[in-house]
Amino acid sequence: MTHLLKRYHPPGTAPGTLKAVSTNDATPLRIRLIDYSKDEINTLNGIDAAACAPYLGNDNITWVHVEGHPSEAVMLELGKLFKLHPLALEDVLNSGQRPKIEPFDDQLFVVMSMPMIANEQVKVHQVSFFLSEKFLISFCEGDSPVFNEVIKRLRNDGSRLRSRGSDFLLYSLLDVVIDHGFPALENLGLQLEAIEEQVLTAPDESSLETIHTVKRELIMLRHMLWPQREVINKLLRDDHALIHDDTLIYLCDCYDHSIHVLELLELYRDMTSSILEIYLSSISNRMNEVMKVLTIIATIFIPLTFIVGVYGMNFDTTASAWNMPELNWAYGYVAIWSVMLVIVILMVIFFRRRKWF
């Protein structure tokens, strides 16, 4: 659970302090620059921060995409180059932030959480954006090429992306981030369906653990995605100069998707609770059944065992006519069996009446 905590400096550290996270994951840092206008497009791969400088002055839109965990030096370089606010730089480095949007002068800083499925498990990566009129810088933890589809569309000469501003590029990337919620939910939905099936037919102890795992992932996802909705809403509502009017209708669509994801999460949580209830009930039903078998066996045989015990007593039948004369009767044994048979039949009738079997 502690991994949900954002990375934090010890209380009292000066605001805007940059300290690179110990990257024990060996994801190499990759910076990619795409400089485009309606008519031309330039792509640079694997460059270092300083290489972005020449593209700053021109009229094209410049998209710098940083993949992996950047070092302090890279952040400082980018910060100086693009005049990024130190508090925002700190938030990019201390990943695990809750999604938020913050305007800094003529820039917009956006932090989002992107759910990714890896080995059947949902992981959440922090994605950060700096939007300005003429450039967009995006940071993405992890190494999966999540924005490749957008790059492909960008390379397509006649595409809508090329003829619009940096805000439409931001929308396209936010759309990718939010739409990653659907496969994550699909994955959880399939797991839930499997558990439901199992709980209704053959519940066992492992079900409980699976339900807990799914519930945990739902709680975690909800925690990460809930503020996302608010971010898009703020983009729509607040009248940012950077977001043009004709992009709003697209952001609306994006907002709709983010609500759809959250409502499904809520629905899945309700379902998980309902499945847990059934699981618990069927466990208690089975206990009931076990108890009934025990009770039926015991209730039938305990009296019979008593009866045969009686005739195992060693009273001296010769001492008097009162001492177990039955033992010497010609049909004593037959009589005892008859008595026991009657008892069994009465018991069975009693159980039938109570609908025990």
Site for its own copies in 29-58 (CB under 8 A): none
The residues, ordered by sequence, that sit 6+ positions from 157 with a Cβ below 8 Å of its Cβ are: none
Per-residue x/- track, 59-98, its own copies (CB under 8 A): --------------------------x-x---------xx
Closest CA to 198 of 278, 287, 266, 290: 278
* Angle at CA of residue 133, ends 127 and 135, nearest 5°: 50
Q: In what order do the strands lie in the sheet with 30-36?
A: 41-47, 30-36, 61-67, 135-140, 121-131, 107-118, 100-104
User: Interface with its own copies includes 349 (CB under 8 A)?
Assistant: no
User: Interface with its own copies includes 2 (CB under 8 A)?
Assistant: yes
The residues, ordered by sequence, that sit 6+ positions from 133 with a Cβ below 8 Å of its Cβ are: 106, 165, 166, 242
Q: Which of 25, 133, 149, 238 binds its own copies (CB under 8 A)?
A: 149
Q: Which of residues 153-212 bind its own copies (CB under 8 A)?
A: 153, 159-161, 172, 175-176, 179-180, 182-183, 185-186, 189-190, 192-193, 196, 200, 202, 205, 208-209, 212
Cα–Cα dist 352/304, whole Å: 19
CB 116 within 8 A of CB 184: yes
Of 33-41, 57-65, 135-143, 329-337, which part binds its own copies (CB under 8 A)? 329-337
Q: Which of 57, 158, 239, 313 binds its own copies (CB under 8 A)?
A: 313
Phi, psi (deg, nearest 5) at residue 20: -65, 140
Q: Smallest gap, in angstroms, from Cβ of residue 58 to its own copies? A: 26
Of 19-27, 60-68, 236-244, 309-317, which part binds its own copies (CB under 8 A)? 309-317
Q: Which of 241, 303, 341, 349 binds its own copies (CB under 8 A)?
A: 303
Q: Smallest gap, in angstroms, from Cβ of residue 233 to its own copies? A: 14
User: Interface with its own copies includes 357 (CB under 8 A)?
Assistant: no
How many residues make contact with its own copies (CB under 8 A)? Answer: 127
User: Interface with its own copies includes 285 (CB under 8 A)?
Assistant: yes
Cα–Cα dist 62/43, whole Å: 10
Give the HSE-up count for residue 138: Cα atoms under 13 Å, Cβ half-sphere: 28
Q: Which is nearer to its own copies, 22 or 59 (CB)?
A: 22
Q: Which of residues 244-273 bind its own copies (CB under 8 A)?
A: 249-250, 252-253, 256, 259-260, 263-264, 266-268, 270-271
Give residue 97's Cα distance to chain centre: 17
Question: What is the chain's Cα-based Rg?
Answer: 36
Q: Which is nearer to its own copies, 24 or 288 (CB)?
A: 288
User: Interface with its own copies includes 293 (CB under 8 A)?
Assistant: yes
CB 165 within 8 A of CB 174: no
Q: Smallest gap, in angstroms, from Cβ of residue 309 to its own copies? A: 4
Q: Which of 27, 37, 45, 148 binds its own copies (CB under 8 A)?
A: 148
The residues, ordered by sequence, that sit 6+ positions from 198 with a Cβ below 8 Å of its Cβ are: 204, 207
User: Interface with its own copies includes 123 (CB under 8 A)?
Assistant: no
Give residue 258's Cα distance to chain centre: 15
Residue 254 burial (10 A CB sphere; 0-12, 13-18, 19+): buried
Of 21-29, 49-57, 62-70, 280-288, which part binds its own copies (CB under 8 A)? 280-288
